[in-house]
């Protein structure tokens, strides 16, 4: 999907997100979602600039219904921050990088 951003699945979500040492920003996304596509460059820049403090991953909701349903994700894109294996923040909708960084400031 996006360079520098790891794709996760139902199968590896536990290992990649729940078990991660760094806080993890998960974008719940879909190929058919225009705002999700708009977030590609933002997430790539975030992964590059904040990679030492934050892991950035994407989960395709259509291909991974178990994780999508487990976290009650209904709108795309939904962003969730996981820290210590628990979701600590959720945001819905596309946003500028500056705004996203402001919203992440208290969790990374």
Residue 67: both structure tokens together: 């994780």
Q: Assess whether 36 carries a catalytic annotation.
A: yes
The residues, ordered by sequence, that sit 6+ positions from 93 with a Cβ below 8 Å of its Cβ are 35, 75, 77
Rounded to 5 degrees, what angle do the CA atoms 98, 21, 84 make?
Answer: 85
CB atoms under 10 Å from CB of 107, counted, come to 13
> Is 100 one of the catalytic residues?
no
- Selecting among 20, 22, 30, 33, the annotated active-site residue is 33
Those residues whose C-beta lies under 8 Å from the C-beta of residue 39, and which sit 6 or more positions away, are 27, 29, 77, 94
Catalytic residue among 2, 5, 25, 36: 36
Q: Looking at the annotation, which residues are catalytic?
A: 33, 36
């Amino acid at each position: 999907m996006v360079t520098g951003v790891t794709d996760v699945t139902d199968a590896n979500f536990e290992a990649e997100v729940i078990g991660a040492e760094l806080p993890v920003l998960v974008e719940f996304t879909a190929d058919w979602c225009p705002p999700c596509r708009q977030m590609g460059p933002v997430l790539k820049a975030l992964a590059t600039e904040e990679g030492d403090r934050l892991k950035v991953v994407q989960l395709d909701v259509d291909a991974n219904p178990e994780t999508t349903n487990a976290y009650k994700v209904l709108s795309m894109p939904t962003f969730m921050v996981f820290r210590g294996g628990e979701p600590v923040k959720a945001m819905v909708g596309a946003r500028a990088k500056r705004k996203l960084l402001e919203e992440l400031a208290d969790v990374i």
